[in-house]
Structure 1
Amino acid sequence: MSWMLSRDKSWQFLQQNFSWVADMSGVMQDPIHHAEGDVSVHTQCVLEALRSLPEYQQLPTLQQEILWSAALLHDVEKRSTTRIDYDGRIVSPGHARKGELTTRQILFKDLAAPFAIREMIAALVRYHGLPLWVMEKQDPQKSLLSASLRVDNQLLTLLAKADVLGRECADTEELLNRIELFELYCHEQQCWRQARRFPSAEAQYRYFSTDNAPPDYQPYDDYQSQVTLLSGLPGMGKDSYIQQHCFGLPVIGLDDIRRQHRIAPDDKMANGWVVQQAKQLAREKLRRGEDFVWNATNITHQMRQQLINLFVSYKARVRVIYIEVPYVKWKQQNSARTYAVPDAVMDRMLAKLELPAPEEAHEVIYYIDGQTEAISL
């Protein structure tokens, strides 16, 4: 597999052709941690530092391109999150989390990348600060193991090292020491260059969804039914997936309820009522121990988590199916629908898209353009 974000990697070309690169100019940073200058200067320094690392030079060409792209994009959303804090310091809270969403949007809509490559770059952007701050997390082990399900920690370590070397600050040595400790912690937790392995899917889900569960614990499986929760933007093909793969299972669909009661899709006042009707139908099936499909967009973690918690409380095993097709095909499929979603609404939803993480449910499947794919290479 070969892919490149840009063959011309000169900063002049990138700045002239990508608005999100041009936006980096003038976005100031805290001079204590970034005396080198604004985000544009910092990003150029990070790219230069990355290319000079012997470990980077030894990587296969595709991994080099993935890492270079992540370095280019790692601070892309400092443009929207940077502000002056109460003590006069320049801060950019949440820039990595928002940067992940922007990276996904760019590599889906504007610079089409294969799914696994796109998600690896998005994960690197999301977690680029983890090697520096993992031990300050509320639960360092859980934070590390969660990241390991999505990202190659060796690549993450190289990105963090380039990020440190691409800045001017007084604590460079301390930050590099933190990265070395992160690598040792990855080896200790069995997630260096691989995702942490759990005894079973149930063990993985239980570890991440409960407190104080050790990762090697094998819980007892006492589930009484299975719920298939679909996730995907409107027009991606969820209804077609149900017809082809769900073999006559009962379906609870929010759109079906809206049409049954003649409620417009953009009637926000009625959305809560529609969801409550759907949940009531789900509870009835859950009490009877029946399998069913929940058909809705479910494009954010919060949406999915509320439903998964409900299903699990009734002793249901939850399987999440994320469905996606390429951007051009998506727009075509939406236009051909009986109830097409306006383009502006589609783009707003795309900007909010959070892919289901592997630990969100007992099983998470990525169904991409008609076939199942892994979230990483």
Structure 2
Amino acid sequence: MIWKLTESKEWEILEKKFSWVDDMKSVPQDPFHHAEGNVAIHTQMVIAELLELAEFGALGEQEQEILWASALLHDVEKRSTTLIDAAGRVSSPSHARKGAQTIRKILFRDVDTPFHVREKIVSLVRYHGLPLWLMDKPDPMKSALEASLQLDLSHLKILAKADAKGRICQDMDALMYALEMFELYTKEIGCWQSAPSFKTPNARFTYFNALDSYVDYVPFDRFKSEVIVLSGLPGMGKDYYISKLDKDLPVISLDDIRRQYRIDPTDKRRNGWVVQEAKEMAKKYLRAGQGFIWNATNITALMRKQLIDLFVDYQAYVKLFYIEKPYHIWRMQNKNRAHPLPDMVLDKMLHNLEVPQLTEAHEVCYVVD
């Protein structure tokens, strides 16, 4: 069955159906880069250009629907990031990153979307500017390889090409040149239509996480323990997943520590102590070469990195498991928990959710219904 964001694709219907589409007509853009006008005008032009591209027409129906949805959503968070400076110049810093978070929430909560489809759209929006600005990155190779682990870069170029052509600007020739250089460069480094192949999981992890690493380096595997790190929103079933694992490992649970000391999950000050207490427990296991399971939400990349860096410092092999149920099941499971969280807290955590990527650990597994 082909997933579609919506059957009706007429702009007037989209404005009535989705409040975030209606918002676009109120968001200005800089005349130098977008002389066509506001975000609504630009987005309509991008979609029109997308449909005319031969590369788009050559795709299968599902990939076309994914790219169409990405084009519609690619600038959704210019509404919250747009700034106008004293000289009247308009900018929207970090709109792609923030847009990716919003899109994940929309496609998880409001539109029934398979996990793999949702995350493709999230990645396309997150990286939609990369083909135009890749060579300005501090490390273009690493940036390209990281993106290729999440999506097909040939599809990303199609979206970026439609984005560039769907505007009135003074630097169109430069944009088209950048797109061709993006294709040539990613073909040269071997990630144009497929993810790079690393010789070992540790080689991949080291390349993306160690300073001054290079892509062909294969570190010697000298692991002293194996650590399983869970990630997922509260109520997704992490405890149940642990119970089904065929592993006799101790579990470090932040929830258990909170309950033991009667600490409210929303108490930020005391929760810092909870995390430190859990880390001290982890260090004891790590020093002894004892594997364990770290059971906490770990919903942002920064949270996970701080933990995984600690574990790797003790020569642990880290497996990261992301747990997810459909939205309605998740909410029901939370209500049926012995210690349910308020809806307001869950909504905030959903907004901040960043699904783990393959660069974050030695192994990354998705346990998704």
After TM superposition, the score normalised by the length of structure 2 is 0.99
Q: Which residue in 2 is equivalent to 1:373?
A: none
Q: Which residue in 1 is equivalent to 2:272?
A: 272
Q: SS of the residue aligned with 1:308?
A: helix
**1:121-270 to 2 correspondence within 5 Å?**
121-270=121-270
Q: Which residue in 2 is equivalent to 1:58?
A: 58
Amino acid of the structure 2 residue aligned with 1:152: D
Give the drift of 1:248: 2.7
Alpha-carbon distance between aligned partners in 1 of 2:221 and 2:51, rounded to the nearest angstrom:
48
Alpha-carbon distance between aligned partners in 2 of 1:58 and 1:139, rounded to the nearest angstrom:
32
Give the drift of 1:247: 2.3
- Confirm or deny that 1:315 pairs with 2:315: yes
**1:15-54 to 2 correspondence within 5 Å?**
15-54=15-54
Give the drift of 1:163: 0.2
- Confirm or deny that 1:328 pairs with 2:332: no
| Larger deviation, residues 1-10 vs 90-99 | 1-10
Give the drift of 1:86: 5.2
Unaligned runs of 5+ in 2: none
Alpha-carbon distance between aligned partners in 2 of 1:248 and 1:261, rounded to the nearest angstrom:
26
* Count of residue correspondences: 369
Alpha-carbon distance between aligned partners in 1 of 2:266 and 2:117, rounded to the nearest angstrom:
34
Give the drift of 1:85: 3.1
Q: For each residue in 1:233-272, what CA deviation from the matched residue of structure 2 results, as whole angstroms up to 9, or x when unmatched? A: 0000000000001523100011000111111222222111
Identity %: 55
| Larger deviation, residues 58-67 vs 190-199 | 190-199
**1:301-312 to 2 correspondence within 5 Å?**
301-312=301-312
Alpha-carbon distance between aligned partners in 1 of 2:242 and 2:108, rounded to the nearest angstrom:
24
Amino acid of the structure 1 residue aligned with 2:91: V
Alpha-carbon distance between aligned partners in 2 of 1:68 and 1:246, rounded to the nearest angstrom:
43
Give the drift of 1:16: 0.3
Amino acid of the structure 1 residue aligned with 2:138: Q
Amino acid of the structure 1 residue aligned with 2:209: S
Q: Which residue in 1 is equivalent to 2:76?
A: 76
Q: SS of the residue aligned with 1:366?
A: strand
Q: SS of the residue aligned with 1:277?
A: helix
Alpha-carbon distance between aligned partners in 2 of 1:214 and 1:265, rounded to the nearest angstrom:
41
Q: Which residue in 1 is equivalent to 2:350?
A: 350
Q: For each residue in 1:37-91, what CA deviation from the matched residue of structure 2 results, as whole angstroms up to 9, or x when unmatched? A: 0000000000000001011011100000000000000000000000113543100
Q: For each residue in 1:198-239, what CA deviation from the matched residue of structure 2 results, as whole angstroms up to 9, or x when unmatched? A: 111111001001133221221100110011110000000000
Alpha-carbon distance between aligned partners in 2 of 1:218 and 1:86, rounded to the nearest angstrom:
51
Q: SS of the residue aligned with 1:64?
A: helix
Q: SS of the residue aligned with 2:187?
A: helix
Q: For each residue in 1:102-125, what CA deviation from the matched residue of structure 2 results, as whole angstroms up to 9, or x when unmatched? A: 111111000111000000000000
Q: SS of the residue aligned with 2:100?
A: helix
How has the CA–CA distance of structure 1 residues 105 and 248 changed in structure 2, closer, same or farther, with 3 Å as cutoff? same
Alpha-carbon distance between aligned partners in 1 of 2:268 and 2:214, rounded to the nearest angstrom:
42
Unaligned runs of 5+ in 1: 370-377
Q: SS of the residue aligned with 1:283?
A: helix
Give the drift of 1:311: 0.4
Alpha-carbon distance between aligned partners in 1 of 2:145 and 2:280, rounded to the nearest angstrom:
35
How has the CA–CA distance of structure 1 residues 246 and 174 changed in structure 2, closer, same or farther, with 3 Å as cutoff? same
Give the drift of 1:26: 1.5
Alpha-carbon distance between aligned partners in 1 of 2:249 and 2:22, rounded to the nearest angstrom:
50
- Confirm or deny that 1:7 pairs with 2:15: no
Q: Which residue in 2 is equivalent to 1:375?
A: none
Alpha-carbon distance between aligned partners in 1 of 2:209 and 2:85, rounded to the nearest angstrom:
34
Q: For each residue in 1:113-157, what CA deviation from the matched residue of structure 2 results, as whole angstroms up to 9, or x when unmatched? A: 100000000000000000000100011111110000001101100
Alpha-carbon distance between aligned partners in 2 of 1:300 and 1:245, rounded to the nearest angstrom:
24
Q: Which residue in 1 is equivalent to 2:341?
A: 341
